[in-house]
């Protein structure tokens, strides 16, 4: 398998603190309403306590990305060296095909630029030997970077409950499921 | 830290990509679309500065700030600190927006009529003219400056910001709002038991075999400590979280106890009784390093049973026995005592009973153990900015003045002193204080309308004041109730130095960018005021009229600080934060306690002399005065009234909610996301409801926050100013029973 960088989202460690999301926003200073990384609370049917377990999600850097496939102007590329899916905003014509096609809702419309944009895996930081801003920021190491080619799967899952199962796209993100403590209530 | 699975460790990752990085640094070329790529990040393109988050927070993160073209481009956590490990928190990463927020107070302004919103820009000179003129008028009228009040607390904990107190002292004797709404009952309790508030290095929690997080929510309020708790867990420690709310921290524990709010003392004593019955007391510690244990044991045998504790708390007796036995057999075992659990009329007594539980099991003075609450070990600065002399001939209050917990000054022998009033009863004190009344109030590093209690009463009290000056960054509710607002710098625009009351790191705060608009630091404001005072009335203010804020920061250091942290000069801190050179990660490792007896005092005569029980006895909680208990803790998106007003934060936290148990809601005919009215004897608040079993059926919870100008959400509409039991001993005034509040709710 070729090298494929992926986010490893450990919901057992994740404290839903939104630090990753704000680190991303702070680093790129996205315009109002544009978010590259969001922290989603799990539904009570999935985790029994409201707003106490989360999935931190950004671009899944898919093996076969829908955004790339539907883009009419080749504004998306997938890097050979690490599988990171890059959106080149200078080439984007703002047609919205990618926004409509990504089942994970990743590309966002930037109303100022009038073009799409999305998580870049901080490839400019990767290329300098640095971690992405979100991963560097995570206080519990719940968010990590892994190479799927080298990942020995232990308890990771690809499609946790609540996350769309899109096998054709083969999203790279991997998840560890959250746990709940023994409850002693009055 | 060990890493799970096959993920790349931070260091290995950096090594692995160093070589590949060079190859990937191809020049950007738009002619070859498939290769078009932003260039690799180049740290060398930025000037970097050291900053420190000055909020009232356990973590007090060291920040590395990247500046280009005189503008902060981005920030990150200092890599040098093992505590922050290169990261900040959701609040910390929003700082660039705070600095560059279009909503900042940009110039000195005057309001034509309080709450009118009719603000006019004035010059600094005119602002100082109005302020100095008023001060001199008060002096003329009252023959003292006791009519000038200062309310200041923890809005900016940079050490040089104690200049605000210094500025007041340089004018004469004034009225000071003293005390703290935060943690004073627990401080007193630890002082009675141990002789000081002094906690282990939080990084040593990895060594604990058993951790009880009791009334603290580090997953929101100290995110960087969570990794130590989780690491202890991975090494086999059991983590029990005790909280009236199923918090995010509770979700990460092994066991969650949800007792009746304010019954924690009964729980701790029930556990103590069981440990006594099981003969699991650490006799070596008790015999050699404590006094009064036999009296405590007798109290337990005569007054406490596990069943009684179960009845009081709602936690089943078999659970209390199980956890008590596990805690007593684990070595070391530790309790993190949160500030929330002492914000009660029995808060100090509760902390004393938990201290006793930790001590009787021999966990005091042990690495990985301890009754962790906080410390001020690293705060040994000169307080040069704070210590200023009154002008010659200044008259003041006759009689003793109370001192706050951060007041490290020695008392002076002058016959006059400041007049001290209780910061936790701001409204009542303003209304009640006479001869002379508080005529003018200076507000700095504090937002009384967000933090002080009984907001409706506070508005009445402010209306009694002849002039209110707020030193602020945003147009808060307090500013709306002020006459003059002065724009103050953020930490990126000034020099200062910061330490934590939790971890043992020291970080410098450099001026990274020039102050925006016309903002000035508190030191510069003091100098400006002094210039104007002396211009209008020579000799009326002793504060230096020319200041260099970098020099003033340097003047806070001394040999004690340098030795404690193992540095030669403060400039060493430009290379990153440093940690204290601790001989042990444990507090009290030599068992030399600061109490009158020099031992751990299960029986404290000092405590009895101050009007409490000598033993850590159970104290009843406050009687309910309404249908639901009301809790108003922190949100993860802000600290008190800071951060939630920023548009960046509102991307993730756009509106407040009250949380309510679904069963209680059903009885009231309330559905999820309904707009409701929460009301009690203090006031009311309209807000949307979220139904959740995270709160108990008899409980309503809303997170304190200020959502920005034009919004009316304020939990202080529902919180009265009832005092906690302790706090006056070390913090100058009793604490406040923030979580002993009650309210009702109906569909709006």
CA distance B47 to chain A (A): 16
Mutate to test the interface with B, among A181, A182, A183 (most CBs of B within 10 A): A181
ipTM reported for the complex, 2 dp? 0.98
What confidence category does residue B234 fall into, taking pLDDT thresholds of 50, 70 and 90?
very high
The residues, ordered by sequence, that sit 6+ positions from A72 with a Cβ below 8 Å of its Cβ are: A93, A95, A97
- Hey, what are A126's tokens? 């990767």
- Are residues B427 and B450 part of one domain? yes
Q: Pick from B378, B388, B498, B457: which is nearest to B150 by CA? A: B388
- Are residues B248 and B114 part of one domain? no
Residue range A101-117, pLDDT digits in tens: 999 999 999 999 999 99
- Are residues B172 and B260 part of one domain? no
> Looking at the predicted structure, is the pLDDT value of residue B12 above 60?
no
Chain B residues lying within 8 Å of A23, measured CB to CB: 87-88, 93
Average pLDDT, chain B: 94
- Are residues B193 and B236 part of one domain? yes
The whole-number pLDDT of residue B406 equals 79
CA–CA separation, B703 and B659 (whole Å): 9
Mutate to test the interface with B, among A10, A23, A77 (most CBs of B within 10 A): A23
| Domain at A93, CATH number | 3.30.70.20
* Residue of chain A nearest B13, judged by CA positions: A129
The H or E element spanning position B291 is strand B290-291
What confidence category does residue B30 fall into, taking pLDDT thresholds of 50, 70 and 90?
very low
Contact at CB, B89 and A39, closer than 8 angstroms? no
The whole-number pLDDT of residue B667 equals 97
> Looking at the predicted structure, is the pLDDT value of residue A34 above 50?
yes
The whole-number pLDDT of residue B13 equals 39
Contact at CB, A125 and B314, closer than 8 angstroms? no
- Are residues B487 and B435 part of one domain? yes
Furthest CA-CA distance within chain A: 61
Contact at CB, A186 and B315, closer than 8 angstroms? yes
Chain A residues lying within 8 Å of B8, measured CB to CB: 144-147
Residue range B494-532, pLDDT digits in tens: 999 999 999 999 999 999 999 999 999 999 999 999 999
The answer to the question of residue B610 being in a domain is no
> Looking at the predicted structure, is the pLDDT value of residue B148 above 50?
yes
Range of the domain at B264: 184-373
- Are residues B335 and B218 part of one domain? yes
Contact in structure between B269 and B309 (CB atoms under 8 Å): yes
CA–CA separation, B356 and B559 (whole Å): 36
- Are residues B197 and B177 part of one domain? no
Range of the domain at A152: 5-176
The residues, ordered by sequence, that sit 6+ positions from A76 with a Cβ below 8 Å of its Cβ are: A65, A67, A68, A85, A86, A87, A88, A98
- Provide mean pLDDT across the span B202-212: 98
Query: Of the residues B357, B373, B389, which one is the last residue of a structural domain?
Result: B373
The answer to the question of residue B26 being in a domain is no
The answer to the question of residue B576 being in a domain is no
Contact at CB, A139 and B6, closer than 8 angstroms? no
Residue range B434-478, pLDDT digits in tens: 999 999 999 999 999 999 999 999 999 999 999 999 999 999 999
Residue range A9-25, pLDDT digits in tens: 999 999 999 999 999 99
Domain count, chain B: 3
Label residue A170 left, alpha or beta by phi (over 0 means left) and psi (-120 to 50 means alpha).
Answer: left
Contact at CB, A52 and B33, closer than 8 angstroms? no
- Provide mean pLDDT across the span B479-499: 98
CA–CA separation, A17 and A14 (whole Å): 8
Contact at CB, B255 and A184, closer than 8 angstroms? yes
What confidence category does residue B37 fall into, taking pLDDT thresholds of 50, 70 and 90?
low
The answer to the question of residue B252 being in a domain is yes
Contact at CB, A139 and B224, closer than 8 angstroms? yes
Residue range B551-598, pLDDT digits in tens: 999 999 999 999 999 999 999 999 999 999 999 999 999 999 999 999
CA–CA separation, B130 and B495 (whole Å): 28
Contact at CB, A136 and B87, closer than 8 angstroms? yes
Contact at CB, A50 and B692, closer than 8 angstroms? yes
The whole-number pLDDT of residue B19 equals 36
The answer to the question of residue A53 being in a domain is yes
* Residue of chain B nearest A134, judged by CA positions: B87
Cis check: omega of the bond before A89, within 30 degrees of 0: no
The H or E element spanning position B129 is helix B124-142
Which residue among A33, A81, A140 places its CB closest to the CB of B24? Answer: A81
CA distance B14 to chain A (A): 5
Chain A residues lying within 8 Å of B21, measured CB to CB: 126-129
Label residue B311 exposed, middle or buried (CB < 10 Å: 0-12, 13-18, 19+). Answer: middle
Which residue among A22, A127, A136 places its CB closest to the CB of B90? Answer: A22
- Are residues B240 and B120 part of one domain? no
Contact at CB, A77 and B36, closer than 8 angstroms? yes
Strands (E) in B423-483, as ranges, are 440-444, 467-472
Q: Edge-to-edge strand order for the sheet containing B47-52? A: B47-52, B62-68, B71-77
Which residue among A29, A156, A186 places its CB closest to the CB of B259? Answer: A186
> Looking at the predicted structure, is the pLDDT value of residue B28 above 70?
no
What confidence category does residue B414 fall into, taking pLDDT thresholds of 50, 70 and 90?
low
* Residue of chain A nearest B43, judged by CA positions: A128
Rg of chain A taking only CA atoms, in angstroms: 17
What confidence category does residue B27 fall into, taking pLDDT thresholds of 50, 70 and 90?
very low
The answer to the question of residue A79 being in a domain is yes
Contact at CB, A139 and B227, closer than 8 angstroms? yes
What confidence category does residue B214 fall into, taking pLDDT thresholds of 50, 70 and 90?
very high
Chain B residues lying within 8 Å of A76, measured CB to CB: none
Chain A residues lying within 8 Å of B693, measured CB to CB: 49-50
- Provide mean pLDDT across the span B228-235: 98
Chain B residues lying within 8 Å of A7, measured CB to CB: none
CA–CA separation, B389 and B165 (whole Å): 11
CA–CA separation, B641 and B708 (whole Å): 9
- Provide mean pLDDT across the span B645-659: 97
Q: Edge-to-edge strand order for the sheet containing B370-372? A: A182-185, B255-258, B238-242, B210-214, B333-337, B370-372
The answer to the question of residue B380 being in a domain is no
The answer to the question of residue A184 being in a domain is no
* Residue of chain B nearest A152, judged by CA positions: B6
The whole-number pLDDT of residue B412 equals 55
What confidence category does residue B399 fall into, taking pLDDT thresholds of 50, 70 and 90?
confident
Mutate to test the interface with A, among B1, B2, B3, B7 (most CBs of A within 10 A): B7
* Residue of chain B nearest A186, judged by CA positions: B314
The whole-number pLDDT of residue B8 equals 41
CA distance A79 to chain B (A): 9
The answer to the question of residue B420 being in a domain is yes
* Residue of chain A nearest B6, judged by CA positions: A151
Contact at CB, B93 and A152, closer than 8 angstroms? no
- Are residues B565 and B435 part of one domain? yes
- Are residues B549 and B404 part of one domain? yes
Average pLDDT, chain A: 96
The answer to the question of residue A108 being in a domain is yes
- Hey, what are B157's tokens? 């904990």
* Beta pairing, strands B109-111 & B71-77: unpaired
CA distance B672 to chain A (A): 12
Mutate to test the interface with B, among A89, A128, A180 (most CBs of B within 10 A): A128
The whole-number pLDDT of residue B6 equals 40
The answer to the question of residue B116 being in a domain is yes
What confidence category does residue B408 fall into, taking pLDDT thresholds of 50, 70 and 90?
confident
Chain A residues lying within 8 Å of B74, measured CB to CB: 26-27, 133
Residue range B161-195, pLDDT digits in tens: 999 999 999 999 999 999 999 999 999 999 999 99
Domain count, chain A: 1
The whole-number pLDDT of residue B39 equals 85
Chain A residues lying within 8 Å of B7, measured CB to CB: 8, 144-146
The residues, ordered by sequence, that sit 6+ positions from A147 with a Cβ below 8 Å of its Cβ are: A3, A4, A5, A6, A82, B8
The whole-number pLDDT of residue B26 equals 34
HSE toward the beta carbon, residue A129, CA cutoff 13 A? 14
Residue range B48-98, pLDDT digits in tens: 999 999 999 999 999 999 999 999 999 999 999 999 999 999 999 999 999
Furthest CA-CA distance within chain B: 87
Chain A residues lying within 8 Å of B319, measured CB to CB: 184
Query: Of the residues B538, B569, B600, which one is the last residue of a structural domain?
Result: B569
Contact at CB, A133 and B647, closer than 8 angstroms? no
Chain A / chain B CB contacts < 8 angstroms: 215
- Are residues B293 and B421 part of one domain? no
The answer to the question of residue A183 being in a domain is no
* Residue of chain A nearest B65, judged by CA positions: A27
Percent of chain B at pLDDT above 90?
92
Contact at CB, B7 and A146, closer than 8 angstroms? yes
Contact at CB, B316 and A184, closer than 8 angstroms? yes
User: Whole-model pTM?
Assistant: 0.94
Which residue among B40, B75, B691 places its CB closest to the CB of A127? Answer: B40
What confidence category does residue B25 fall into, taking pLDDT thresholds of 50, 70 and 90?
very low
Contact at CB, B637 and A18, closer than 8 angstroms? yes
Contact at CB, A146 and B6, closer than 8 angstroms? yes
What confidence category does residue B1 fall into, taking pLDDT thresholds of 50, 70 and 90?
very low
The answer to the question of residue A125 being in a domain is yes
Residue range B703-739, pLDDT digits in tens: 999 999 889 999 999 999 999 999 999 999 999 999 9
Query: Of the residues B341, B373, B405, which one is the last residue of a structural domain?
Result: B373
Residue range A62-100, pLDDT digits in tens: 999 999 999 999 999 999 999 999 999 999 999 999 999
- Are residues B148 and B274 part of one domain? no
Contact at CB, B226 and A49, closer than 8 angstroms? no
Chain B residues lying within 8 Å of A150, measured CB to CB: 6
CA distance B172 to chain A (A): 44
CA–CA separation, B471 and B162 (whole Å): 14
CA distance B40 to chain A (A): 4
- Hey, what are A117's tokens? 């944009």
Residue range B336-354, pLDDT digits in tens: 999 999 999 999 999 999 9
């Amino acid at each position: 398998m070729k090298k494929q960088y992926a986010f490893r989202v450990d919901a057992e460690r994740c404290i839903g603190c939104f630090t990753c999301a704000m680190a991303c926003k702070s680093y790129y200073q996205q315009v109002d309403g544009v978010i590259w990384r969001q922290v989603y609370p799990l539904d009570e049917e999935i985790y029994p306590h409201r707003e106490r377990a989360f999935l931190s999600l950004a671009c899944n850097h898919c093996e076969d990305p829908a955004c790339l496939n539907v883009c009419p102007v080749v504004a998306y590329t997938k890097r050979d060296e690490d599988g990171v899916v890059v959106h080149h905003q200078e080439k984007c014509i703002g047609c919205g095909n990618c926004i409509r096609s990504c089942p994970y809702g990743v590309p966002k419309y930037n109303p100022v630029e009038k073009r799409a944009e999305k998580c870049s895996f901080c490839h400019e930081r990767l290329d300098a030997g640095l971690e992405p801003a979100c991963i560097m920021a995570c206080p519990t190491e719940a968010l990590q970077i892994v190479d799927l080619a080298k990942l020995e799967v232990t308890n990771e899952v690809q499609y946790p409950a609540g996350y769309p199962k899109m096998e054709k796209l083969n999203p790279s993100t991997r998840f560890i499921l959250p746990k709940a403590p023994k409850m002693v209530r009055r | 830290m060990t890493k799970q699975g096959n993920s790349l460790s931070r260091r290995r990752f950096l090594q692995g990509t160093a070589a590949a990085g060079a190859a990937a640094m191809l020049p950007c070329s738009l002619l070859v679309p498939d290769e078009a790529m932003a260039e690799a990040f180049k740290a060398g393109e930025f000037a970097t500065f050291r900053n420190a988050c000055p909020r009232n927070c356990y973590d007090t993160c060291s920040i590395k700030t990247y500046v280009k073209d005189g503008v902060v481009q981005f920030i990150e956590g200092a890599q040098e600190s093992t505590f922050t490990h290169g990261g900040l928190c959701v609040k910390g990463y929003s700082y660039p927006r705070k600095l560059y927020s279009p909503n900042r107070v940009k110039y000195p302004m005057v309001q034509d009529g309080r709450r009118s919103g009719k603000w006019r820009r004035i010059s600094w000179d005119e602002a100082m003219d109005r302020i100095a003129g008023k001060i001199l008028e008060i002096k003329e009228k009252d023959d003292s400056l006791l009519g000038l009040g200062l309310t200041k607390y923890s809005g900016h904990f940079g050490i040089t910001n104690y200049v605000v107190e210094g500025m007041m002292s340089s004018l004469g004797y004034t009225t000071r709002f003293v005390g703290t709404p935060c943690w004073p009952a627990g401080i007193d309790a630890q002082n009675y038991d141990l002789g000081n508030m002094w906690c282990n290095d939080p990084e040593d929690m990895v060594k604990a075999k058993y951790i009880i997080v009791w009334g603290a929510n580090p997953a929101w309020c100290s995110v960087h400590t969570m990794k130590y708790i989780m690491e202890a867990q991975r090494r086999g420690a059991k983590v029990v979280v005790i909280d009236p709310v199923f918090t995010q921290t509770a979700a990460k524990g092994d066991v969650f106890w949800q007792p009746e709010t304010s019954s924690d003392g009964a729980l701790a004593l029930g556990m103590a009784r069981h440990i006594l019955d099981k003969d699991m007391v650490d006799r070596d510690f008790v015999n050699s390093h404590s006094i009064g244990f036999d009296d405590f044991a007798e109290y337990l045998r005569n007054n406490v049973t596990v069943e009684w504790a179960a009845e009081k708390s709602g936690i089943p007796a078999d659970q209390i026995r199980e956890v008590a036995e596990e805690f007593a057999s684990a070595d070391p075992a530790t309790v993190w005592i949160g500030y929330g659990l002492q914000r009660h009329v029995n808060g100090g007594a509760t902390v004393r009973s938990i201290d006793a539980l930790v001590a009787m099991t021999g966990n005091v003075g042990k690495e990985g153990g301890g009754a962790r609450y906080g410390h001020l070990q690293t705060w040994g600065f000169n307080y040069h900015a704070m210590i200023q002399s009154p002008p010659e001939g200044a008259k003041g209050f006759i009689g003793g003045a109370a001192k706050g917990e951060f007041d490290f000054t020695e008392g002076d022998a002058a016959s006059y002193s400041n007049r001290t009033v209780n910061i936790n009863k701001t409204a009542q004190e303003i209304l009640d204080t006479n001869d002379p009344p508080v005529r003018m109030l200076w507000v700095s590093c504090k937002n009384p309308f967000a933090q002080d209690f009984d907001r409706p009463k506070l508005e009445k009290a402010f209306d009694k004041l002849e002039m209110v000056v707020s030193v602020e960054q945003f147009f808060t509710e307090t500013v709306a109730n002020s006459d003059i607002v002065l724009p103050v710098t953020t930490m990126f625009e000034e020099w200062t130095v910061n330490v934590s009351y939790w971890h043992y790191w020291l970080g410098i705060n450099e001026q990274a960018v020039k102050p925006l608009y016309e903002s000035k630091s508190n030191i510069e404001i003091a100098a400006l005021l002094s210039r104007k005072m002396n211009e209008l009335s020579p000799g009326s203010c002793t504060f230096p009229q020319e200041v260099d804020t970098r020099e003033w920061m340097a003047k806070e250091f001394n040999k004690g600080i340098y030795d404690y942290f193992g540095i030669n000069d403060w400039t060493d801190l430009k290379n990153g934060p440093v940690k204290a050179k601790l001989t042990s990660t444990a507090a009290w490792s030599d068992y030399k306690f600061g109490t009158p007896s020099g031992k751990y005092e299960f029986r404290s005569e000092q405590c009895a002399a101050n009007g409490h029980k000598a033993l850590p006895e159970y104290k009843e909680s406050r009687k309910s005065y309404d249908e639901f208990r009301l809790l108003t803790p922190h949100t993860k998106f802000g600290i008190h009234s800071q951060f939630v007003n920023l548009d960046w934060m509102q991307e993730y936290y756009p509106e407040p909610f009250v949380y309510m148990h679904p069963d209680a809601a059903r009885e009231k005919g309330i559905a999820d996301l309904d707009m409701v009215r929460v009301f009690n004897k203090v006031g009311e608040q309209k807000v949307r409801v979220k139904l959740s079993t995270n709160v108990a059926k008899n409980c309503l919870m809303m997170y304190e926050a200020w959502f920005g100008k034009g919004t009316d959400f304020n939990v202080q509409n529902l919180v009265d100013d009832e005092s906690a039991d302790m706090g006056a001993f070390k913090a100058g005034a009793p604490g406040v029973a923030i979580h002993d509040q009650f309210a009702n709710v109906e569909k709006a």
